[in-house]
Amino acid sequence: IASVLRAWLDQCAEDFREPPDYLCLLKLLDYLKNNMPNSDMESRVQNLLKQFQNQEVEAVDGFCSTSSSGLVDREELEISNPEEFYSFQDHVVAEQLTYMDVMLFRRVVPYHCLGSIWSQRDKKENKNLAPTIRATITQFNAVTKCVISTILGTRELKIQQRAKIIEKWINIAHECRILKNFSSLRAIISALQSNSIYRLKTTWTFVSKDVLLMYEELSEIFSDHDNYLTSRELLMKEATSKFANLDSSEKENQKKSQKRLQLQKNKGVMQGTVPYLGTFLTDLIMLDTALQDYVEGGLINFEKRRREFEVIAQIKLLQSSCNSYCLIPDQKFIQWFRRQRHLTEEESYKLSREAEAAADTNILSPKSQISMVKRISTLFMGSDVFTPPKEQPPKSSPVGGSSGESTDSASVSSCEFNHSETEDVCVTPVSSPEDPLKKSSVGSDKGYDSDKGSISSDKGSSSKGSIFDPGSGSDSGSIPSRDSGSVPSSAPRVLPVYNRQSEGSCIIRVSMDGLHDSVYKSILITNQDRIPDVTQRALLKHNLEPDAVEDYELVQIISEDKELVFPRDANVFYGMNSHVNFDFILRKKA
């Protein structure tokens, strides 16, 4: 018993976190006092109880608190004063964002990331499930919204001043890269690629060439090519390294990077690594979707458990690396950061239109990555997402060069966290205007707007994609993109993914026509599934009565003006069009 309890307390102490009473821990302590008095185990349990109680106090008083005592009153929230923002040095901002990210990431309970747990978060009884992950997502959203509000919040700014703020945020993102903080780095890049910022064509022309090149290189880290292979490899390469490995194709940026890196080395303080948690959540949800818990005979599927453990082990490794950081909180910045009033999608788009009228197609635009970075925006918030009026994206080549990736529309769309009860986290890319071959095959008038896996497409949008989780409020001109949910490369077989049929299975996305048109569900289908089975599972996923199968028809969206209606007993796998996006709707029969 002592051996089991020791392993349980060491490896899964969070099982005993039950504030405010900690009944299980107190029962265990009572048991130990009676059966193992004055033992090492007893003192260990007492220390754990004190640790939990102290953390509860910190959660109330600390910066990451969600209680009223830890936040600025709504009346005190303000739009950023540019001069105050300028007063913070770039590396100070990056260090403080990293400090906040580290504090939250170290508290993440790794097993809460499992698909079997995370996918249940939207059920009413689970509103307090995985609070440490939700806190990380909330921080990601706060960084993204802070970037947008500093750029758009002050109406009186001149174009050149707004461009300087964009440059400052790009430099801050670069400092985050030096600190190996991939979470805030992705949040900043995501905000800069949001539609309300991306559409400021004139402003972007005033951003210096060197800074634009730096921005492009940072954006490339999160390219969705080969299932985000670049960011995955970089994360694993630098997970336990002392310092960031910085390479730049531009001499000035390379010189600047090496100078900053040398300063870090001279301090003699090693850096940890803060990952973008969404990648791990995606992989674990895809694993949970694709592999059964049990095999024939009711035996546990250890292959699934082994793969899940590989991902959990990576998270724990990165959490350990975060102990290397030696960052001191700057209360002045933290208070400033808390005071920022976050603009809604509608407000930011309105201010963007005020700053610059409808886009002039002759003005060059900043490079827009199809890979688009995740905005975990509104992931858990229930607010409606505003879909701004559609604008025709420009056809000119972006500043600093054209996008180096070319992908057909059938393989562009991807959604991370594909299998959640409501697909609430999707990468929100801004479509790249220069490649007409990437136009969405889903009608441009069909906006996918929801804080849960939102998408909205412009006419002429070039990619499909819609925060960490993969699915946040999208901007006009953006369509959700999916993380194809990879698994470790040692996997013996290819797991089913969205938009690709492999080994007799694939994942499709199904939304409800009319009632829940803005929320899709990911469903795993095989070559044995027929219409009644798929329809019933889709109804269950949308929390509708599964017995109403006969009242609905399944329809695949082929293009803006074409759709495929399946006959009553058709085989969905063989009957679907595999050359377009695997997007379906359930429609009530006439």
Contact 157, 82 (CB under 8 A): yes
Contact 311, 110 (CB under 8 A): no
Q: Are residues 115 and 18 in the same domain?
A: no
Q: How much is the pLDDT for 185?
A: 96
473 domain residue, yes or no: no
Q: How much is the pLDDT for 512?
A: 87
451 domain residue, yes or no: no
Residue 312: CATH number of its domain:
1.10.840.10
Q: How much is the pLDDT for 377?
A: 34
Cα distance between residue 364 and residue 528, in whole Å: 50
484 domain residue, yes or no: no
Q: Are residues 199 and 53 in the same domain?
A: no
Looking at 354, 381, 411, which one is the last position of a domain?
Answer: 354
Q: Are residues 348 and 221 in the same domain?
A: yes
Looking at 305, 331, 354, which one is the last position of a domain?
Answer: 354
239 domain residue, yes or no: yes
366 - beta bridge partners? 399
State the pairing for strand pair 563-565/552-557: antiparallel
Residue 541: CATH number of its domain:
3.10.20.90
Rounded to 5 degrees, what are φ and ψ at 555? -130, 130
Contact 122, 82 (CB under 8 A): no
Q: Are residues 215 and 139 in the same domain?
A: yes
Half-sphere exposure of 437 (CA within 13 A, CB side): 6
C-alpha dihedral (277, 281, 284, 290), degrees to nearest 10: -140
Closest CA to 138 of 101, 99, 102: 101
466 domain residue, yes or no: no
At 553-582, the pLDDT tens digits run 999 998 888 889 898 888 899 889 888 889
Q: Are residues 54 and 123 in the same domain?
A: no
**Token digits for 42?**
């007893």
Structural domain including 540 reads: 505-588
**Token digits for 590?**
């006439």
Q: Are residues 207 and 151 in the same domain?
A: yes
Angle at 534 between CA 541 and CA 584, to 5 degrees: 80
Contact 264, 98 (CB under 8 A): no
Query: Counting every residue, how long is the chain?
Result: 590
C-alpha dihedral (83, 89, 95, 99), degrees to nearest 10: -30
Residues 6+ apart with CB under 8 A from 50: none
Q: Are residues 188 and 313 in the same domain?
A: yes
Q: How many independent structural domains does the chain possess?
A: 3
271 domain residue, yes or no: yes
Cα distance between residue 218 and residue 257, in whole Å: 12
Q: Are residues 280 and 167 in the same domain?
A: yes
**Token digits for 411?**
């393989």
1 domain residue, yes or no: yes
587 - beta bridge partners? 553
30 domain residue, yes or no: yes
Q: Are residues 141 and 108 in the same domain?
A: yes
Q: Are residues 171 and 254 in the same domain?
A: yes
Residues of the chain with pLDDT under 50: 62-75, 359-492
Angle at 416 between CA 579 and CA 478, to 5 degrees: 70
pTM of model > 0.75? no
At 87-126, the pLDDT tens digits run 999 999 999 999 999 999 999 989 899 988 888 888 888 8
Contact 564, 558 (CB under 8 A): yes
Q: Are residues 95 and 26 in the same domain?
A: no
Residues 6+ apart with CB under 8 A from 87: none
Q: Are residues 20 and 94 in the same domain?
A: no
Looking at 323, 354, 385, which one is the last position of a domain?
Answer: 354
Unique residue bearing structure tokens 């979707």: 289
Q: How much is the pLDDT for 260?
A: 62
